[in-house]
Structure 1
Amino acid sequence: MSTRVRGMGGHQSARMMKDEWLTPPEIIKGLGEFDLDPCVPINRPWDTAKNHYTIEDNGLKKKWFGKVWMNPPYGEETAA
Structure 2
Amino acid sequence: MSHWETAGVSDEWYTPKFIFDALSVSFDLDVAHPADYDTHVPATHKIYTASLERNWHGFIWMNPPFGGRNSLKPWLDKFFSHADGIALTPDRTSAPWWQEAAARADAVLFIAGKVRFIRPDGSEGKSPSNGTTLFASGDRAVSALRHAHLLHNLGFLAGRTALAQGGGV
Normalising by structure 1, report the TM-score.
0.62
SS at match of 2:61: coil
Query: How far off is 1:37 after superposition?
Result: 0.7
Counterpart CA distance in 1 for 2:40 and 2:21 is 10
- The equivalent of 1:10 in structure 2 is none
| 1:38 aligned partner | 31
Alpha-carbon separation, structure 2, partners of 1:65 and 1:29: 22
Shift of 1:62: 2.0
* Coordinate RMSD, CA, aligned: 2.9
Q: Which has the larger radius of gyration?
A: 2
Tell me, in whole angstroms, the C-alpha distance in 1 between the residues paired with 2:26 and 2:58: 10
Per chain length, whose mean CA-contact separation is higher, i.e. which structure has more relative contact order (CA < 8 Å, sep 6+)? 1
Q: Indicate the larger mover: 21-30 or 33-42.
A: 21-30
Q: Which residue of 2 aligns with 1:55?
A: 49
Match of 2:36, SS? Answer: coil
User: For each residue in 1:2-21, what CA deviation from the matched residue of structure 2 results, as whole angstroms up to 9, or x when unmatched?
Assistant: xxx45xxxxxx9xx942122
Segments of 5+ residues of structure 2 without an aligned counterpart are: 73-169
Deviating above 3 A after TM superposition, structure 1's stretches of 4 or more consecutive aligned residues are: none
Q: Which is richer in strand?
A: 2
| Number of residue pairs matched by the alignment | 67
TM-score relative to the length of structure 2: 0.33
Q: CA deviation at 1:28?
A: 1.6
The CA distance in 2 between the partners of 1:65 and 1:42, in whole Å, is: 19
Taking every aligned residue pair, what percent have the same amino acid on both sides? 34
Larger helix share, 1 or 2: 2
In the alignment, the residues of structure 2 paired with residue 46 and residue 75 of structure 1 have an alpha-carbon distance, to the nearest angstrom, of: 20
